[in-house]
Chains A and B, each alone.
Chain A
């Protein structure tokens, strides 16, 4: 089946630094990738949608300058949290949609900003 690899699974960074999270579709080409944020015991909150080779579309209220998304190829999308602060600590999850349809999720990244 379709597999999405997300790295790192956990990261701790100092306040003010930037962190990059990678999302790779391993055995299919992802025309669209999605980035979510999830708070404890809450649902997934869509942050942005990215299509290969074009700018990401951000959901209302999501700071595009803080959460930089790059979708340079059909198998790789990255989320960079810039100038991270403790309030950015969260569980970030990517999802990839293949041309055939269906959504496959990565295993998530636990970001802790200290």
Chain B
């Protein structure tokens, strides 16, 4: 129940295309869903996050779509650029004593020029 399932494991997209990464969860107590971007040898950096009271959030080229009934959320990267090539992690957490993040397994995105 604590798992967050992420797919695909890897993704190749042409420059200018749309990258889509999907995540699914089981625990309905989760109330915060962030996406992180990680470059090799660096720590994860917050990209965008959403709470379950909205179905979509957009920040620049990055959009989170959230489907509460299906317990799924996805990251869309519009106009993908070679600089977007990185590993992306979805995560989830809920209010509580520890508030620990539960991470997905990650998606390695390669944007080809």
Contact = CB atoms under 8 A, between A and B. Distances in A.
Interface residues of B, number: 20
A25 interface: no
A107 B40 CA distance: 10
B108 interface: yes
Interface in A93-114: 93, 95, 97, 101-108, 110
A63 B80 CA distance: 42
B41 A110 contact: yes
A74 interface: no
Interface string A44-56: 1010010000000
Contacts of A42: 105-106
B79 to A, nearest CB: 24
Contact of B43 (A32, A43, A46, A107): A107
Interface in B6-58: 32, 34, 36, 41-46, 49
Contact of A46 (B36, B100, B105, B106): B100
B104 A107 contact: no
**Looking at chain B's contact residues, is the secondary structure mostly helix, strand, loop, or mixed?**
loop
Interface in B70-113: 89, 98-101, 103-106, 108
B23 to A, nearest CB: 12
Q: With a 10 A CB-CB cut-off, give which of A4, A43, A97 has the most chain B CB atoms.
A: A43
Given A93-B44, A103-B34, A107-B42, A49 B104 contact: no
A34 interface: yes
Nearest to B95: A101
B44 A49 contact: no
Interface in A51-97: 57, 91, 93, 95, 97
A4 B43 CA distance: 10
26 contacts: A6-B43, A32-B99, A34-B101, A41-B108, A42-B105, A43-B89, A43-B103, A43-B105, A44-B44, A46-B100, A49-B98, A91-B41, A93-B43, A93-B44, A97-B99, A101-B32, A103-B46, A103-B101, A104-B46, A105-B44, A105-B45, A106-B43, A107-B42, A108-B41, A108-B43, A110-B41
